[in-house]
Structure 1
Amino acid sequence: MKTFNNLFFVVTMFFVTSVAFSQGTITGTVVDADSGPLPGASVVVKGTTNGTSTDFNGKFSLNVNSASGKLEISYVGYDTKTVSFQVNGTKDLGTITLTSNNSLDEVVIVGSGIIDLAEDRKTPIAATTIKKREIQERAVGNVELPEIIKFTPSVFVSRQTGFGDGRLLVRGFDDTNTAVLLNGQPINAQEDGRVFWSNWAGMADIANAVQVQRGLGASKLAISSVGGTVNIVMKAAEKKKGGSIRFLTGNDSYFKGTAEYNTGVNEKGWAFSVLIDHWQAHRKWARGTFGQGQNYFFAAGYKPNDRHSFNFLITGAPQYHGNKWSQNVQTTLDDPKFNQHWGFTEGLSGGQYRNNIDSERRNFYHKPVMNINWDWTISEKSELSTVLYASWGRGGGTGPRGSRIRTDDGQLDYFAIEQSNAAIGNGGFDNATSGYIRRASMNNHAWYGIVSNFNHEVNENFSFNVGTDLRYYVGDHFRQVANLYGLTAWQEDGQSYTTEYNPDPWAALFNFADEGDRLDYDYSETITYQGLFAQGEYATDKFSAFFQGAISNQSYQREGRFAGDLGKSDKLSKVGYNLKAGLGYEFAKDHKIYFNTGYYSRQPYLDNVFTNIRRSNEFVQPEVDNEEITGFEAGYQFEVDGVFRAVFNFYHTDWDNRVLLSGGTLISGGVETNINIFDRGVRQVHRGVELELDARPTDWLDLRGFVSAGSWEFKGTSNRQIYNDDTNVLISSIEGVNRDGVKITTAPQFTAGLTAKARIIKGLSIDANAKHYGNHYTNDRDFDGTPQTRNFPTLDSFELVDFGLTYNFTIGDNKLTFRGNVFNVFDKRGIQDTDVFGSFPITGRTFNTSLRYNF
């Protein structure tokens, strides 16, 4: 009996132990809906240390010691997913799909201390992040990089009809007042703050992420950030070995081919990456908007040990394309594709050319960019990040000089122009009453800089960083002859010009006019900048607070070489600064509120400092003062475990003492005079609200909606000075111009949008994006010296819908991805925008398709 009892006890304990410690085995496959299996994903029983990782095919097998519970499945760059299980034996959970999140930790390989991202600060800001996969899906080929952030509150992207001619506006502020940073390097033009997206045509292929920060943002630099900051995170030398080949086609004979390869990190810590591509099209959508270009990228990374990391890269995107400017409203409405600047250039048929096209308005540019990043981990609490950068721009834009001859349908008649020029011979005219040539306005520059940031964690709650931002810029501006069209020479201002300079981005690198062969104007600008910045942040689990400060000195100097050999101007220096502070508080689980405020004293742009930037060394009198920007914003964030997120923002930006620079023609007594107009002491106030909603109701559906409503208008009075563009003489001065209540005309003041992405079956997903634009006021284009003192009509509201489809399938261990996009699905027509260059139509329906092979 005793033996039986002992045996019963042993068997019972074995059975209990088996039940307690080996209830069963759970299997499954972890995938990304678009890219397939996720090897190395973590699978852990919630509340325990019992876990495993997925294999190369995303599969896992895990023994569990309870009959029910929850698994936490995580992967870098994806939202953690919790899955319930009940098991008795073996349980297959099937395919578990993870969703990519907005974290940038996995894409910032080097320079993370320089790139000011929202993730790096605990106190919230209004920010939206687009990662590499979405960039490669949507910002491809005949779509520029700004297009990927257009489905964002208070963001307007004007899709101009030429390649790279689009404009980006945030909260009503254009790109001259929205800072754009490339790996922490400012790329807004030093003279006027503009961003020429055609110069960065290759960014979509080499960007790991783009983050748009609306309002005060997270940047520590003393940059020109009034509307917001756009951070473009460029790829570095990749850690993973592999490459890809992609072919893309689109409407109007668009074609693009791209190839890239990454060596991965070798045993000595070196990694290399290279990318090249070529694209071309006979037009983007409107007539005469042809284009062609290339993109090249090379990066070398070196990590000798755990404390130091280096990365060198050089990239450039030489391109040329035809522009579409100066169409009036009625012409745009009658024929949105009409373009007055182009014509056929060869192939005689019936006394006219009928083959090949060119445009008197051609943009051509090549801007190689090089930088070296160094990340130094000094200790567990201290690190230093530094980037040394340089860029060299060569190229410009062409335009007419002389008398055009057109065909009956409004195109340039190049055959008739050449016949007329041949009859003239050597020219011999100063007033351009006969004959015709194409000139090129050149902008050649060299830009060097260094940004360095030291970060130190004092303790688990407090950290600070300090840094420096140094820049040196020299820009040469002049005009040269691009095409004589049969003339032996062009004579102007007593000088004869006989040499043609090809308006091509590769030729422009080294072949441009010497000083003695430049016409109309020739001058240089030198801008130096020295800045210091600092930030401190205190954060606990519930509360966070930060303070930022920056001070900078900027100097301007001009050298005139054309009008009487003006020589160098005096050097003018301006000191600017900014102060920012903010608070964040999580008053309940997943409920957070924040408040940020800031003040900028911003130096004026160089173009606003001189009375005539092309022909005069004289400073505007009285001297132009700093602009003053005061902003504050408040917000509320709510999130439920990656299933639902709501963000509400309120903002108020008061921009005072700004200068508006414009030009035009003054008609008096039947005489036309070209003029420069300085509006000084202008004040405008931008305020509004933004609501963002994100929802993932199921594993296969992502939804996002937003509404933004603004009230942007001028306040108070301002003064106006009008100068003769040729003689630099002050024509008139108007004081006390009342602009109070006049609406800002830069962008739609009301937008609303909805985006959806659905994963249909394994590897197949579709997405759709819709956006409504309203309350967009037209621009003042009278150009008669009369200030804008009244409200103008609004443009008709409109809606745009885009559609996309992605299908991934495998070939052995490699992946093939098909992507198709249709933009403006319903072919909406009308006017989307007006500015000093004319009215711009809503670009009609366009499309592209691509096939990418990853290996």
Structure 2
Amino acid sequence: MKTLCPKLFFLFYTSLLFAQKETLISGKIIDSKSQSPLISVVVTIQNTNQMQLSAADGKFQFKTNLQGDQLVLFHNQGYKDKLIAVQIQENKLIDLGIIVLEEEDEVNQQGAVISILDDDLDENNGGSESTSGLLQASKDAFQQAAAFNWGQSRFRVRGLDSQYAQLLINGLTMNKAYDGRPQWGDWGGLNDVLRNQEIAIGSSPSDYAFGGILGTQHLSTQASTYKKGTRIAFSGTNTNYQGRAMVTYASGMNEKGWAFVVSAGKRYANEGYFEGTNYDANSIFTSVEKKISPRNSINFTAFYTPNSRGKNSPNTDEVVSLTSEKYNSYWGFQNGKQRNSRIKYIEEPVFMLNDYFKINATTQLNLGAFYQFGKISNSNIDYQHANSPDPSYYRKMPSYFSSLYAKDEGEFSGAFTPDLANAERSKTLFLSQPQINWAAMYQANQNPIVDANGKITEFEPAQSKYILYEDRTDDKNLAFSALLNTELTEDIRLNAGASFNKLHSHNYQNVLDLLGGLYFEDVDVFYKGDQAESDLNNPNRQVKVGDTYGYNFNLMSAKLEGFTQFQFRYKKVDFYLAQEYSSSTYQREGLYKNGIYPTNSFGESPTLHFENFGFKGGLTWKLSGKQLLLFNGSHASKAPNLKAVFPNSRLNNSIVDGIESENNSSLDASYVYRSPKLKMRFTGYFSQIKNATETSFFYAEGIFDNGAGNNSTNAFVSQTLTHLDKKNWGTELSFEYQINPTLKTIVAAAFGEYIYASNPNVTITNDAKASVENTNPVFNFGTAALKNYHQAGTPQQAYSLGLEYRNPKYWWLSTNVNYLAKNYIDISPIARTSNFFINPASGFPFPEATEERGRELLKQEELTPLLLLNLVGGKSWRIFKKNLNLFCSINNLLDTSFKTGGYEQARNANFRQRNQDITSGTPNFGNKYFYGYGRTYFVSLSINF
């Protein structure tokens, strides 16, 4: 007993000393509106590795041995982050009391922001395709501005296309193999259920994937992570749709280990902001989770979002001056109703199965399976032995008669006389019928029946000269993934993942409507004999509704990839190292034996195989509890997309000669300051893309000589750019200052320069030059002088200043003014080759082609800078224990008219043609532009219970 007592005393004293070194921080976290406790809120001491989760009653107890002034950070999905300053002293318990978290307004803002992620930027215009590459907003003020304020002008974060960001849902990659981009329409309208997301910008580390140089975005649909309750919302707007209704219910995890989430919605418009743009979109979502054991649960997710939208046309300045910025040439009246000829339809249901397995306290494994099938189609009008139905077709415009196309005496002779009388006549005709004439097409597809007196008594269906068809893609995509996260030691964490993705893509042309006719001939009227046949295995076909014609082929791809990432976390410094390997195979299978390419179209192409590697690393230096320095860098090779590999995939099995993987590099450095009043980030970045390949299609005039059997210098061609390099560098600023408890100011800025860094090689495929001897008519036009031209499709400078007021009685109002500049037109590469100065009729340079005039003609157009003013506000009520929320926004309050982008028409492919067209003052083939929305509104009323 004498021996035991001193030992017990020693243990008690030691534990007392240890306890004195630790401080207990406690509190309770609740929702600001419902006052209900919040579970699983992440509570950390900022810039440390110490973390705790709130319990089911919202309470938390946090032990720490840190001393001095610290910041406690509260983070929960769907809520605003909260920082509370504390002073930690020995032997002092800190009770923070009730901590109130406010919900984010992100769901409403996502509905209010102009939807341009899937807009009409897929035109084959001779330049590179461009879609918005911005990620959804995070809690960073810069990302909020990029998504919600600058999205109106198609701003792209760091000037990068969305193919350079990796998007995952439940650990499964959603980027398409065809062009590398996510198909945003596959989950359109599911804002409520896709809020659980984690974003890594640039090369910064992600727990879910190696990622791209733009970043990584991961969305989770695990049913048990959703806040229990029901949300019903109704919205009205005047953007791409007019009305929206949504309902979402989440059960939470019940006593039997089940949790489920369901959501359904509809968006619709008889006509959107632009003329003739109808919209119809439905969405349904379900996620069901079964907890098999305390450490294992299985989750099934399915969503189906069929949607269709009428496209709007890009227009020249001439067309807009005669009509308006809302003018759309793709539609017309049929029997008193609007009918758009170009409808994009997406119907691709998605099914996912995930197994979340907690192996032990430090290791988690997520296994996933994914299957997607369905169709994407784009409708258009096809015609034979008839005039173009497009009311703004260049031959119907006044400029056709007042420019070189009116009376050019001898091909490219330079002798030109304007025809002002016909120019005025064409203007009158255009204004009298500025839309598609559906009735005229129906009449053209019928033969008149004449009685004995020579009078037309009625019409009978005949061979269709005009039909409505669709370019159709039917994909079947199967994928598997495995993701392991484990704490190797207290300071070292390992993320490792592997995935396999297999795609079978059927691509074909399909007849939708014979427009009153009997049949349509499956031939190309620009060719004769066997060359006119789409399929020599089935010649002289007459197709009807539902028949495939024109082209018919499969694309197959398979991709295996894996990554490992080690994260090291210490008191003052965190750093990480990651590596990636991928193997990709591509193949085309022609289902038609094309008459132009009889030996190179039917059957399977050679299989292409690409192996790629990537490495990245970064460092976080914790200057203090408020300040961080971050450094990230990566270098990776990237397989070309399917689209780039087969430049003429609709007609043959040809592969781009010598095609190689891209090499992409990025660097960024950031200074971050976060305190309860001030949050700031300043970032500098540099990105480089080397050896890219891009393919486009267009009709060019004046690029080929008059060879035997070809009586024109014009041709519909496929253009491929290889060895294309790009450089993007710039800075980003995010600044938030809480002036007082109710008033906050926000500043965001982006300053960048995005240029082409090489002179790529240009090859042109001209089907008209194909023959028995020449089965792959590819012509090398040499290099295009693109170096130091600006990349198009996004403002390269953007600035935002905002002020936000939040009243304690749950109403708020914010306004922001935005300035966007340095947005450039997409240029035509073929016009920047040496052939531009050569007369194709003679083979000699144009005598009037001077270097100075050439620079003037080829100068890249910069769009006018714009100023946009936005106003956003909301109000919440607590009624019968239910939350009623009103959200309102007005974008572009001053109703500013502006162009969001555009492209040079590649049709003017030689010096004389372009010079005469521009000199006329009203160019027939001037640049085509996309216009942004004027003043728009969004109003949403929702109830949560």
Counterpart residue type for residue 411 of structure 1: Q
Match of 1:316 among 295, 298, 304: 304
Q: Are the equivalent residues in 1 in contact too, given 2:276–2:328 (CA < 8 A)?
A: yes
C-alpha root-mean-square deviation of aligned residues, in Å?
3.6
1:135-146 matches, cutoff 5 A: 135-139=107-111, 143=115
Distance 1:609-1:30 versus aligned 2 partners, 3 A rule: closer
Shift of 1:325: 2.8
Match of 1:283 among 264, 268, 271: 271
Q: Distance in 2 between matches of 1:166 and 1:475?
A: 33
Q: Are the equivalent residues in 2 in contact too, given 1:666–1:784 (CA < 8 A)?
A: no
Counterpart residue type for residue 738 of structure 2: R
Are 2:698 and 1:664 aligned?
A: yes
Task: Give the secondary-structure state (helix, strand or coil) at the position aligned to 2:191.
Answer: helix
Counterpart residue type for residue 438 of structure 1: L
Q: Are the equivalent residues in 2 in contact too, given 1:720–1:734 (CA < 8 A)?
A: yes
Bigger Cα displacement from structure 2, 240-249 vs 781-790:
781-790
Q: Who is 2:673 aligned against? A: 638
Are 2:871 and 1:803 aligned?
A: yes
Shift of 1:251: 2.6
Q: Distance in 2 between matches of 1:287 and 1:823?
A: 19
Counterpart residue type for residue 502 of structure 2: Y
Q: Distance in 2 between matches of 1:71 and 1:396?
A: 53
Are 2:792 and 1:745 aligned?
A: yes
Q: Who is 1:9 aligned against? A: none
Are 2:363 and 1:382 aligned?
A: yes
Q: Distance in 2 between matches of 1:166 and 1:563?
A: 44
1:221-300 matches, cutoff 5 A: 225-234=212-221, 236-237=223-224, 240-251=227-238, 254-300=242-288
Counterpart residue type for residue 605 of structure 1: N
Distance 1:766-1:80 versus aligned 2 partners, 3 A rule: same
Q: Who is 1:793 aligned against? A: 861
Match of 1:481 among 511, 514, 538: 511
Distance 1:568-1:72 versus aligned 2 partners, 3 A rule: closer
Distance 1:451-1:72 versus aligned 2 partners, 3 A rule: closer
Q: Distance in 2 between matches of 1:411 and 1:627?
A: 44
Are 2:334 and 1:338 aligned?
A: no
Task: Give the secondary-structure state (helix, strand or coil) at the position aligned to 2:223.
Answer: coil
Cα deviation code 1:195-229 (max 9, x no counterpart): 34333312323211455543223347777723333
Q: Distance in 2 between matches of 1:298 and 1:544?
A: 39
Are 2:819 and 1:772 aligned?
A: yes
Q: Distance in 2 between matches of 1:158 and 1:395?
A: 27
Q: Are the equivalent residues in 1 in contact too, given 2:186–2:349 (CA < 8 A)?
A: no
Q: Distance in 1 between matches of 2:656 and 2:153?
A: 31
Task: Give the secondary-structure state (helix, strand or coil) at the position aligned to 2:445.
Answer: helix
Distance 1:530-1:222 versus aligned 2 partners, 3 A rule: farther
Distance 1:299-1:96 versus aligned 2 partners, 3 A rule: closer
1:363-762 matches, cutoff 5 A: 363-402=344-383, 403-405=387-389, 406=391, 408-423=432-447, 427-428=462-463, 435-493=465-523, 495-500=540-545, 513=546, 517-564=547-594, 566-621=602-657, 623-640=658-675, 642-668=676-702, 670-725=712-767, 727=770, 729-762=776-809
Bigger Cα displacement from structure 2, 526-535 vs 199-208:
199-208
Q: Are the equivalent residues in 1 in contact too, given 2:753–2:796 (CA < 8 A)?
A: yes
Q: Are the equivalent residues in 2 in contact too, given 1:154–1:170 (CA < 8 A)?
A: no
Shift of 1:809: 0.9
Q: Who is 2:142 aligned against? A: 152
Q: Give the TM-score of the pair, scaled to structure 2.
A: 0.72
Q: Distance in 2 between matches of 1:384 and 1:608?
A: 36
Shift of 1:140: 5.0
Q: Who is 2:175 aligned against? A: 188
Shift of 1:706: 1.4
Shift of 1:420: 2.2
Distance 1:836-1:373 versus aligned 2 partners, 3 A rule: farther
Bigger Cα displacement from structure 2, 288-297 vs 138-147:
138-147
Cα deviation code 1:411-434 (max 9, x no counterpart): 1111222122223866558xxxxx
Task: Give the secondary-structure state (helix, strand or coil) at the position aligned to 1:608.
Answer: helix
Distance 1:833-1:38 versus aligned 2 partners, 3 A rule: farther
Distance 1:71-1:710 versus aligned 2 partners, 3 A rule: closer
Are 2:829 and 1:840 aligned?
A: no
Distance 1:297-1:518 versus aligned 2 partners, 3 A rule: same
In terms of fraction of residues, the more strand-rich structure is: 1
Shift of 1:235: 6.1
Counterpart residue type for residue 284 of structure 1: G
Shift of 1:784: 5.4
Cα deviation code 1:771-828 (max 9, x no counterpart): 2211112121486584899651311011223222211112211121111222222211
Task: Give the secondary-structure state (helix, strand or coil) at the position aligned to 2:108.
Answer: helix
Shift of 1:172: 1.1
Shift of 1:400: 1.4
Task: Give the secondary-structure state (helix, strand or coil) at the position aligned to 1:171.
Answer: helix
Shift of 1:650: 1.0
Q: Are the equivalent residues in 1 in contact too, given 2:149–2:818 (CA < 8 A)?
A: no
Q: Who is 2:92 aligned against? A: none
Task: Give the secondary-structure state (helix, strand or coil) at the position aligned to 2:360.
Answer: coil
Q: Are the equivalent residues in 2 in contact too, given 1:666–1:672 (CA < 8 A)?
A: yes
Q: Who is 2:186 aligned against? A: 199
Q: Distance in 2 between matches of 1:725 and 1:617?
A: 13
Cα deviation code 1:590-629 (max 9, x no counterpart): 22212211111111112222241111112222x2011111
Cα deviation code 1:335-358 (max 9, x no counterpart): 110000001122xxxxxxx2x212
1:804-819 matches, cutoff 5 A: 804-819=872-887
Q: Distance in 1 between matches of 2:182 and 2:320?
A: 25
Q: Are the equivalent residues in 2 in contact too, given 1:144–1:201 (CA < 8 A)?
A: no
Q: Who is 1:114 aligned against? A: none
Q: Distance in 2 between matches of 1:681 and 1:59?
A: 58
Task: Give the secondary-structure state (helix, strand or coil) at the position aligned to 1:519.
Answer: strand
Shift of 1:741: 1.9
Q: Are the equivalent residues in 2 in contact too, given 1:682–1:718 (CA < 8 A)?
A: yes
List gaps (5 residues or longer) in structure 1. 1-27, 47-52, 61-68, 85-92, 101-130, 347-353, 430-434, 501-512
Q: Are the equivalent residues in 1 in contact too, given 2:108–2:887 (CA < 8 A)?
A: no
Q: Are the equivalent residues in 2 in contact too, given 1:664–1:783 (CA < 8 A)?
A: no
- Aligned residue pairs, count: 738
Identity of paired residues, percent?
21
Distance 1:223-1:328 versus aligned 2 partners, 3 A rule: farther
Shift of 1:97: 5.3
Distance 1:523-1:40 versus aligned 2 partners, 3 A rule: closer
Bigger Cα displacement from structure 2, 400-409 vs 548-557:
400-409
Q: Who is 2:915 aligned against? A: none
Q: Give the TM-score of the pair, scaled to structure 1.
A: 0.79
Q: Are the equivalent residues in 1 in contact too, given 2:174–2:182 (CA < 8 A)?
A: yes
Q: Are the equivalent residues in 2 in contact too, given 1:158–1:167 (CA < 8 A)?
A: no
Shift of 1:530: 0.6
Counterpart residue type for residue 590 of structure 2: G
